[in-house]
Structure 1
Amino acid sequence: MKNCFHSTMINSNTLSLSKLLLFCSLFLLSQSLEFTYNGFNNSNLDLDLAGATIVKPSGALRLTNKSHHVIGHAFYPDPIPMFNNGPNASSFSTHFVFQIVPSSSNRGGYGLAFTLSPSPRFPDAEDGHYLGVFNPSNHGSSSNHIFMVEFDTVNGYNETSDKDGNHVGININGVNSSASKPASYYVEGTRAKEEEVNLEGEGPIQAWIEYDGLNKVINVTVFPLRVSKPPRPLMSESIDLSHVLVKNVYAGFSAATGHDSSSHYILGWSFRLNGNADPLDSSRLPVVPVEKPSSSNVKVKRALLATFSVGLFILLVALVGILFYRRVMRFEVLEDWELDCPHRFKYKDLYKATKGFKESEKIGVGGFGAVYRGVLPAIGAEVAVKKIISNNPLQGMREFAAEIESLGRLRHKNLVNLQGWCKNKNDLLLVYDYVPNGSLDSLLYKGGFLTWEQRFNILKGVASGLLYLHEEWDQVVIHRDVKSSNVLIDRDMKAKLGDFGLARLYDHGKNSHTTNVVGTIGYIAPELTRIGKASKMTDVFAYGILLLEVACGRAPVVHEMDQNVILVDWVVECMQKGNIFDAVDEKLDSMYVAEEMELVLGLGLLCSHPKPEVRPSMRQVLKYLNGDELLPLFDRLSSAGSRRLDEISSRLLALGLSGSISTTTWHQSVGTMSSSSFDSGRS
């Protein structure tokens, strides 16, 4: 369907054949879904990360650090069809290498788990024994539909079934293991001889999990990286996952700490549906240095007490010296907010990376300042350095701190990744991953060309990023400046939403207290100009304008013949005249999928509705774009505009999209449209 051409007449037989071919290709793809990660390259990583999870420069995926009471998740981003062979869950195989580094000489905690679940998100999940997947209210509920293999390093939640802290367990819908054994492996060439595997502190550990969908058997094998795969699994249990899993599941890992803590790493991962997963290449796996736990004893404590007064005196002298040195040398003292933010780069390193912020390295300019391309040897990658310039130093610092606070902790494949920052006197700099294809607006308007397939995927990517901001992160994030110039396009033509200088955060279930009007003309929701209160729906409005902009190849407000032509009103006019495809970007030259174009234009009008209560949520938007639900605006419009005008208008009036504009009063052409459209509630 992606290669079909829109024309005046569409041959129904050709369309049906194309749909059949698409269905067959998707079916064959689902039969052999597989992926392999021999280490995790941050620049190419497409995993869905949440919580404390980050990718280290070495390529190791760290689920949690040694902080207490934290949770980390890492999931393959696409759902896996588990029932493509009928009513029985499909066979699968997965191989991964993990490493657990305890925080002290005592046992750490609490372990990690491989998980198959209906969603990569676990609302209200708790740390500790619940491993970031369950909580006391849903633990053990059959409605969870979760299969989990845990690699635990403390005594289990249920002491009677998980007596050994160093154990492997198979769990269904809760943290009570239906089967559990101490971590060990069978030595090749011997009978019933087992060697213990210390899950934490010993080094990298391999795990194989294999499910036979025909015989309904789960095999779990665990053994050190230096050892070949044992001849028999540690556990082989009869379990029918057909009664546990839903149709589409997400595969990934969860880890948690509690009163005790450890760093939990995944070094490599492979997976295959209906087949054997590819073995990982140990020579390509990243290395995690084993941290030696700190130790203390009575003698050390006594020595510390005896020298406390001397140490205190030295510290006071050093503090006075540092303060004097910084005052004389004009070094800045870190403020409180700076201590909790991501990596701080040295100004001299950024200056060198951008060749002294040379004009030839400049890749973008905006109201905030300029963006420069640079190469940082410290991380071995290209970066984009955003240099903020503000006439109001206090406001500039607020926006700078807001962007670090929000973007610095967000991790999603459709959001720009913040590498770090720098504050040197009045220079405020943010360091991002370099996105080579520039911004969406430059590709739309400045000589570039985007196919319809690329445009449609970009719009879905932005929607996925906004859904993460609104509903799937720890707090609600309102972007407040969604527009085409803030959407960057990477090497794979995937969208990454950036520029969080105006973003605001608040807790789920609370209301935003933001009351000042900010944003870009053409994308600002009408209620924002009246009450000045930003919300999820103001982001949805701006996204609706973006939908229309990408489909039509026109800016939200175009000045033509001394008049302001408002994009939304222009699309409504085309629809009321009976052929919405008149609004489509001429550069596409009819090379688009008609049904998708109808969807994007109709959804753009719905999202940019003057009344916020009519607009859909970003979760609903993504369902429309993915084809999971039908957009209520259209049944199907004729590509030739043969539907009667009153039929089309009735659809508009049913949703209130036409507002005060009626077919009897609409008589102005696009060329004579005035800015009075702003007065009707669109801006």
Structure 2
Amino acid sequence: MDFLHCFFCIFWITNLLASINQYHIAVCSASDFPNPINVTKHFSFPDFSFTNNPRLVHDVKLLGSAKFSNQKGALQIPNESQDTDIRHQAGRGIYSFPIRLLDPNTKTPASFETTFSFQFSNSTINQTDYGGSGLTFIIVPDEFTVGRSGPWLGMLNDACENDYKAVAIEFDTRMNPEFGDPNDNHVGINLGTIVSTKTINVSGVGVSLKDGFVHHAWITYDGPNKRLDIRLGLPNQEVYPSKPIFSESIDLFPYLNEYMFVGFSASTGNHTQIHNILSWNFTSTSQAFLRFPSTETCQGKILLQNSNTEEEPAKKSSKDKTPHSFLIFVAVVALVLAALIAFYFINKYRRNAAKSKNSLDTEIRRPTPPNKPRRFSFSEFSSATRSFSEIELLGGDSRGEYYRGKLSNGSNVAVKRFSAQFLNTHGSDRKRLLKEIKTICQARHPNLLPVKGWCQDNNEILVAYEFVHNGSLDKWLFGAGVLPWTRRFKVIKDVADGLNFLHTKQLAHKNLKCSSVFLDVSFRAVLGDFGFVLLGAESKQFESIVCHGADVFEFGVLVLEVIAGRRRVEGEIEELKAEEKNLLDFAWNLHETNEKARLVDRRMGALINLEHANRVLEIGLLCTLNENKGRPSMEEVVGFLLNMDKPIPKLPATRPVALFPYNSANTGLCNTYSCTFK
């Protein structure tokens, strides 16, 4: 049968080559001079009510804290009905379909014009915290990223790198000197960064963005001439302004992909307001090029350039027929030989492969559901991460590095590539490592980061997690923004629920730290970056006991980091005294002097419930007790956090002396293992 298949392939290829020869002559009759045409995209939302726009939910995608208000006919950010506390919220409303905004051949941006009306209103929930943060009209490369809250206006987050292509026109109602804001009433032009390239003080044109009135904005961009024009109408007047507030040359080419998404983003910080988009019109025009047939063939055109007579082209074209036929004959002979040689080696390879199979390296590939974790090939992960390009590098640790990737089915993933040093040092654990990876793949819980698949190929082991665009917890705790106490407490409860689920399944995380906790679009905490194996543990039962205790200890340290808003070891902050730089030691010292309130992150403001935070801090300290001297299980911890009125065990007056002092600078599992048996 293989020989018959080979014969038919040769016959098909022969006919294909003959067809290609004729097709070459036909295609060459197309003109080499393209003609530009205009590609126009237009959509309009007179309002955002479902009555007038039955396809609204299909045409506009809501992300984060955003909603449609049918009563107001508005797109609202944040979603006031979703949460009683609308501080530190961010959301987006994006047109669901990509818009062509760049011709990659000529590198010419498209021309576009957008008009929208908006209104900033006070929250009905928090009347005293009015005034933040602002709204942007955005052009972004995807329709799933949500930016940070507060001064970031929901435009960018820590997952957006320096080369993140984005354009925003911000209508800012908070003054942030660190971002170069001139006042709390300005329009800014942001190109790939939250820091505005240009700012316009709109107080000078008689406009106050937070006066509660309806405002109208017109933004026009002339792509070929690279000129941006922004006009802002007077309150409650839809009259087109005769004079723009900004009109200058700006090249958007470096900040655009061929296809982009357009929409709005907004955010709140410690102060709140509701950002309402009441209407929206958008039109874009980009150039594309088509080739039209010509009566003159490419072949004849070339011959005319090399001859002064009308007869020579015909002679030369007739002579050219022989080489084409000869080349086809040579190609067919070469293909026949190649097919026969390939047939021989394929049969030989099959015989050898059947003898040398082993169960570890050759798993049977069966069709799997699209969302079910599966084994990938090394080439699939390599293609997803652009051959593990440095551009896609997210970070790493002693065990390996993380790369951002996109699978062939469109799923965004974070691929961990275990280092050769780690695998070679502990090569005997490879089978166990793969077994644990597959076990974690089967674990499903709202507070566990889904594992999309794994790879064991070319002496490499890789794991792919679902990509979380809000990034890891450490970037939010120790970065420029400030998480409010309500969100921090929810993170602590989410992490506890995730760990408790793992422990009930006789599993463990084995690598718990702030960089292993991720925040999804709704700021729910999910556990990822599992440790998988505990080095040096020979017994499965022994490892389970060790790792559960270690997870509880690391959870206690993580609780202290979340409450204090600082890392477990701060070697770079000169203002801290030597005894304050180790967070765990400092927390116990404050407990001994009954000054635990000093540990609470004061950046959260005065709205934090200190009694509430103090109880959670004590739960964290309980988790760092000696294993046989009162350290609770995760099931008990979840009970303490679920019922805040439930009494908790009393902490000892002083910290028990540890047999093996805990070194917070090292988050490795071997170190945690030692503290389990203090």
Judge same fold: TM > 0.5, yes or no. Answer: no
TM-score (normalizing by structure 1):
0.41
Greater radius of gyration (CA): 2
TM-score (normalizing by structure 2):
0.41
